[in-house]
Chain A
Amino acid sequence: MSGKLRVGISEFRVARAPAVLIAYGLGSCLGVILDDRQRCLGGMAHTLLPTPWSGVQEVRPAKFVDAAIRLMVDELISLGAVRGSLTARLVGGANMFEPLYAPSDDSIGARNVRTARATLLALEIPVLAENVGGSHGRTVEFDLATGQVLVRSVHGGDTILAG
């Protein structure tokens, strides 16, 4: 793994070019990518759930879509990113076991995606591209040097997400 920085479950990472951030095997999990292209500075979060259950003291806030995005924005800004030039891309949020869980807009994956859109809207960060939903897994790779986001899947091959 030639220096790719791995973003595990419930984690987020920020980095500068020429780093490459990668999250393997996203199913219902949602990968959130933030990018300040001018400064070649960005981050990736590998989130599991939309928001915490109320009253639960959370030790790993990056597990949650909303908290992970906010933490990542703060950290990027502290590293010199400019709020107004941040953009986002979303990958994952599938429903791996489709048939049984009938209304698919109620699945965890779909709720993760909706939460991310709402949080990003509230923070006024535009979502440039999405590769979400469906019922297949995805590996996502974010090259800070070029800003390119590559999505790999087992059945559908590789896709490059516009940025």
Chain B
Amino acid sequence: MTFNRLSEVQLDALKEVSNIGMGHAATALSQLIGETIYLRVPRVTVTDIAQVPELIGGAERVVAGVTLRILGDARGNILLVFPRESAQRLLACLLRQDEAGAVLSEIGVSTLKEVGNILASAYLNALGSLLHLTLIPSVPMLAYDMAGAVVDYVLIELSQAGDLALMVETEFHGITPGAEGIKGHFFLLPDPATLDFILDAVGGAP
């Protein structure tokens, strides 16, 4: 299966599955920070690997990226990207005031990884039980740096098999969209070989 041959039906199926998965993840996040979290309907796109940094606001923008490998019945990566300001706001919600200053403090790093872990686990749980697959997140890793540098590690893995990435992307935000809320991007980047498997489970005929 190559990504560029996905049909509309298959893309819709992936979108629906992701919508449910992300719903669970957003619930987990809003319980964690005690604020309602809204989700945009996920976008499922097949995109050139070279374009991915642009999709998260440009290669040089400073972001906090948490990445996890998906292990178990399917393989791939999950990547959560928070713009710098959102990462700081998230920490302000979760930590005591005197601890919340720096994203890169030990407690800051560990908090963001934990957020990533909770979101990814909620997502994979939902996805796994819908599709009857066992999906396990790896230990989360964090990088706080230029967006291009944060994502290229994941892209490199994908690029060994081709130049396209299947990306399930959503944005979440706090109470008022546009206001100074917490924004983030959630990416599911299945390995090409895994996609067949997911599509089979979804039942989307080609």
Contacts and interface: CB of A to CB of B under 8 A. Distances in A.
Interface of A: 8-11, 24-29, 48-49, 53, 59-60, 63, 94, 96-97, 99-100, 108, 135-139, 153-155
A108 B53 CA distance: 19
Contacts of B71: none
Query: What band does the interface of chain B fall in when counting residues whose beta carbon is under 8 Å from A?
Result: 20 to 34
A24 B59 contact: yes
Contact of B62 (A60, A63, A154): A154
A24 B156 contact: no
Given A59-B163, A96-B150, 6 more contacts: A10-B50, A11-B50, A63-B163, A137-B146, A139-B146, A154-B62
Contacts of B142: 97
Contacts of B49: 9-10
Given A10-B159, A100-B139, A24 B146 contact: yes
Given A139-B60, A155-B145, A25 B160 contact: no
Given A24-B59, A24-B148, A9 B155 contact: yes
A155 B155 CA distance: 23
B11 interface: no
A32 to B, nearest CB: 15
16 contacts: A9-B53, A11-B50, A24-B146, A25-B146, A25-B150, A27-B143, A29-B156, A63-B163, A94-B149, A96-B149, A97-B67, A97-B141, A99-B141, A136-B149, A137-B145, A138-B146
B156 A136 contact: no
A53 B50 CA distance: 19
B103 to A, nearest CB: 11
B152 interface: yes
